[in-house]
Chain A
Protein backbone atom coordinates (compact mmCIF):
# COMPACT_ATOMS: atom_id res chain seq x y z
CA UNK A 1 0.00 0.00 0.00
CA UNK A 2 1.43 3.34 -1.04
CA UNK A 3 0.80 5.68 1.87
CA UNK A 4 1.03 9.43 2.21
CA UNK A 5 0.75 10.39 5.85
CA UNK A 6 -0.13 13.74 7.36
CA UNK A 7 -1.01 14.84 10.87
CA UNK A 8 -4.70 15.72 10.75
CA UNK A 9 -4.29 18.64 13.15
CA UNK A 10 -5.70 21.12 13.72
CA UNK A 11 -2.47 23.05 13.68
CA UNK A 12 -3.06 26.42 15.29
CA UNK A 13 -0.63 29.31 14.75
CA UNK A 14 -0.95 33.02 15.52
CA UNK A 15 -1.16 35.53 12.71
CA UNK A 16 2.28 36.48 11.42
CA UNK A 17 3.94 33.25 12.57
CA UNK A 18 5.44 30.49 10.43
CA UNK A 19 3.21 27.47 9.88
CA UNK A 20 5.00 24.18 9.25
CA UNK A 21 3.09 21.35 7.61
CA UNK A 22 4.64 17.93 7.27
CA UNK A 23 4.09 14.86 5.13
CA UNK A 24 5.77 11.46 4.84
CA UNK A 25 5.41 8.92 2.07
CA UNK A 26 6.07 5.20 1.88
CA UNK A 27 6.67 4.65 -1.83
CA UNK A 28 10.34 5.23 -2.63
CA UNK A 29 9.37 5.37 -6.29
CA UNK A 30 7.57 8.66 -5.68
CA UNK A 31 9.24 11.35 -7.72
CA UNK A 32 7.09 14.45 -7.57
CA UNK A 33 5.15 16.02 -4.76
CA UNK A 34 2.33 18.48 -4.62
CA UNK A 35 0.74 20.67 -1.98
CA UNK A 36 -2.93 21.52 -2.42
CA UNK A 37 -5.00 23.87 -0.30
CA UNK A 38 -8.67 23.14 0.30
CA UNK A 39 -11.02 25.61 1.94
CA UNK A 40 -14.06 24.18 3.68
CA UNK A 41 -16.68 23.20 1.12
CA UNK A 42 -14.42 23.99 -1.81
CA UNK A 43 -12.24 21.99 -4.17
CA UNK A 44 -8.49 21.49 -3.81
CA UNK A 45 -6.24 24.01 -5.53
CA UNK A 46 -2.52 23.61 -6.19
CA UNK A 47 -0.14 25.74 -4.14
CA UNK A 48 3.23 24.26 -5.03
CA UNK A 49 4.97 21.28 -6.49
CA UNK A 50 8.50 20.03 -5.88
CA UNK A 51 10.58 17.45 -7.72
CA UNK A 52 14.13 17.86 -6.43
CA UNK A 53 15.67 17.52 -3.00
CA UNK A 54 16.00 20.79 -1.15
CA UNK A 55 13.89 23.89 -0.86
CA UNK A 56 11.64 25.63 -3.33
CA UNK A 57 10.24 29.06 -2.55
CA UNK A 58 7.20 30.82 -3.99
CA UNK A 59 6.20 33.99 -2.21
CA UNK A 60 5.29 33.18 1.37
CA UNK A 61 5.41 29.45 0.68
CA UNK A 62 8.43 27.16 0.83
CA UNK A 63 8.28 23.48 -0.03
CA UNK A 64 11.02 21.20 1.26
CA UNK A 65 11.82 17.70 0.03
CA UNK A 66 14.11 15.08 1.51
CA UNK A 67 13.88 11.89 -0.54
CA UNK A 68 16.29 9.97 1.70
CA UNK A 69 13.97 10.53 4.65
CA UNK A 70 10.83 10.33 2.48
CA UNK A 71 9.69 13.61 3.91
CA UNK A 72 8.00 16.66 2.40
CA UNK A 73 7.08 19.85 4.17
CA UNK A 74 5.38 23.15 3.47
CA UNK A 75 6.29 26.31 5.32
CA UNK A 76 3.98 29.30 5.27
CA UNK A 77 5.64 32.52 6.41
CA UNK A 78 3.72 35.48 7.82
CA UNK A 79 0.62 33.33 8.21
CA UNK A 80 -2.69 35.09 7.65
CA UNK A 81 -6.20 34.15 8.78
CA UNK A 82 -6.99 33.60 5.09
CA UNK A 83 -4.47 30.73 5.11
CA UNK A 84 -6.80 28.79 7.40
CA UNK A 85 -7.68 25.70 5.37
CA UNK A 86 -6.83 22.04 4.97
CA UNK A 87 -3.53 21.35 3.23
CA UNK A 88 -3.25 18.17 1.21
CA UNK A 89 0.05 16.55 0.35
CA UNK A 90 0.16 14.36 -2.77
CA UNK A 91 2.82 12.12 -4.28
CA UNK A 92 3.22 10.75 -7.76
CA UNK A 93 5.37 7.80 -8.73
CA UNK A 94 6.83 7.28 -12.17
CA UNK A 95 5.12 3.90 -12.50
CA UNK A 96 1.71 5.27 -11.54
CA UNK A 97 1.38 7.39 -14.61
CA UNK A 98 -0.27 10.65 -13.78
CA UNK A 99 -2.20 9.41 -10.76
CA UNK A 100 -1.73 11.30 -7.50
CA UNK A 101 -1.80 9.64 -4.10
CA UNK A 102 -3.16 12.10 -1.54
CA UNK A 103 -2.73 12.29 2.20
CA UNK A 104 -5.79 13.01 4.31
CA UNK A 105 -4.70 16.57 4.93
CA UNK A 106 -3.71 18.81 7.82
CA UNK A 107 -6.15 21.42 9.07
CA UNK A 108 -4.47 24.78 9.67
CA UNK A 109 -6.02 27.52 11.79
CA UNK A 110 -4.40 30.95 11.84
CA UNK A 111 -5.69 33.00 14.74
CA UNK A 112 -5.77 36.83 14.62
Chain B
Protein backbone atom coordinates (compact mmCIF):
# COMPACT_ATOMS: atom_id res chain seq x y z
CA UNK B 1 0.00 0.00 0.00
CA UNK B 2 1.06 3.58 -0.66
CA UNK B 3 1.88 5.52 2.48
CA UNK B 4 1.38 9.28 2.70
CA UNK B 5 3.45 11.40 5.06
CA UNK B 6 2.41 14.97 5.74
CA UNK B 7 4.53 17.65 7.32
CA UNK B 8 4.36 19.49 9.54
CA UNK B 9 1.72 17.88 11.76
CA UNK B 10 0.87 21.30 13.14
CA UNK B 11 1.66 24.83 12.14
CA UNK B 12 1.15 28.21 13.78
CA UNK B 13 0.72 31.21 11.52
CA UNK B 14 -0.90 34.63 11.32
CA UNK B 15 -3.46 36.22 9.05
CA UNK B 16 -1.71 37.32 5.88
CA UNK B 17 1.09 34.74 6.12
CA UNK B 18 2.07 32.43 3.29
CA UNK B 19 2.15 28.80 4.39
CA UNK B 20 3.14 25.55 2.71
CA UNK B 21 2.21 22.02 3.71
CA UNK B 22 4.08 19.04 2.27
CA UNK B 23 2.89 15.55 1.45
CA UNK B 24 5.24 12.74 0.49
CA UNK B 25 4.13 9.45 -1.04
CA UNK B 26 6.00 6.17 -0.60
CA UNK B 27 6.05 5.76 -4.38
CA UNK B 28 5.42 7.80 -7.51
CA UNK B 29 1.68 8.63 -7.64
CA UNK B 30 1.75 10.55 -10.92
CA UNK B 31 -0.06 13.63 -9.61
CA UNK B 32 -2.99 11.52 -8.31
CA UNK B 33 -3.26 13.68 -5.23
CA UNK B 34 -6.08 15.62 -3.62
CA UNK B 35 -6.10 18.12 -0.75
CA UNK B 36 -8.95 18.59 1.73
CA UNK B 37 -9.76 21.13 4.41
CA UNK B 38 -11.64 20.08 7.54
CA UNK B 39 -13.02 22.31 10.25
CA UNK B 40 -14.05 20.96 13.66
CA UNK B 41 -17.28 19.00 13.59
CA UNK B 42 -17.59 19.30 9.81
CA UNK B 43 -17.02 17.02 6.85
CA UNK B 44 -13.86 17.46 4.80
CA UNK B 45 -14.02 19.81 1.84
CA UNK B 46 -12.17 19.18 -1.41
CA UNK B 47 -9.72 21.97 -2.26
CA UNK B 48 -7.56 20.62 -5.08
CA UNK B 49 -7.21 17.46 -7.15
CA UNK B 50 -4.69 16.17 -9.70
CA UNK B 51 -2.13 17.87 -7.46
CA UNK B 52 -2.77 21.37 -8.78
CA UNK B 53 -6.33 21.67 -10.10
CA UNK B 54 -8.50 23.97 -8.00
CA UNK B 55 -11.95 22.67 -7.16
CA UNK B 56 -14.77 24.95 -8.27
CA UNK B 57 -15.52 27.64 -5.71
CA UNK B 58 -12.21 27.36 -3.86
CA UNK B 59 -10.36 30.69 -3.51
CA UNK B 60 -7.34 31.20 -5.71
CA UNK B 61 -5.09 31.79 -2.68
CA UNK B 62 -4.96 27.98 -2.46
CA UNK B 63 -2.54 26.32 -4.86
CA UNK B 64 -0.93 22.94 -5.25
CA UNK B 65 2.26 21.68 -6.80
CA UNK B 66 4.73 18.88 -7.00
CA UNK B 67 5.25 15.69 -8.92
CA UNK B 68 6.39 12.12 -8.45
CA UNK B 69 6.40 11.50 -4.70
CA UNK B 70 6.49 15.07 -3.32
CA UNK B 71 3.59 17.51 -3.29
CA UNK B 72 2.73 20.82 -1.67
CA UNK B 73 -0.31 22.83 -0.68
CA UNK B 74 0.31 26.56 -0.44
CA UNK B 75 -1.98 29.23 0.97
CA UNK B 76 -0.69 32.54 -0.33
CA UNK B 77 -2.25 34.89 2.23
CA UNK B 78 -3.96 33.28 5.20
CA UNK B 79 -7.47 34.39 5.99
CA UNK B 80 -9.23 33.81 9.33
CA UNK B 81 -11.45 31.13 7.78
CA UNK B 82 -8.40 29.11 6.66
CA UNK B 83 -7.48 27.94 10.15
CA UNK B 84 -8.38 24.27 9.96
CA UNK B 85 -6.86 20.83 9.47
CA UNK B 86 -5.61 19.87 6.01
CA UNK B 87 -5.27 16.37 4.59
CA UNK B 88 -3.71 15.01 1.44
CA UNK B 89 -5.06 11.85 -0.23
CA UNK B 90 -3.58 9.69 -2.96
CA UNK B 91 -5.82 7.96 -5.48
CA UNK B 92 -3.27 6.32 -7.72
CA UNK B 93 -4.68 3.44 -9.79
CA UNK B 94 -6.72 1.32 -7.36
CA UNK B 95 -7.70 1.20 -3.69
CA UNK B 96 -6.64 1.45 -0.92
CA UNK B 97 -6.83 5.23 -1.09
CA UNK B 98 -4.68 6.62 1.67
CA UNK B 99 -4.72 9.92 3.50
CA UNK B 100 -1.91 11.80 5.14
CA UNK B 101 -2.13 12.14 8.90
CA UNK B 102 -3.22 15.77 8.70
CA UNK B 103 -1.77 19.20 9.36
CA UNK B 104 -3.48 21.40 11.91
CA UNK B 105 -3.11 25.05 11.00
CA UNK B 106 -3.51 27.26 14.06
CA UNK B 107 -3.44 30.95 14.73
Q: Specify whether A and B are partners.
A: no
Residue positions of A touching B, CB distance < 8 A: none
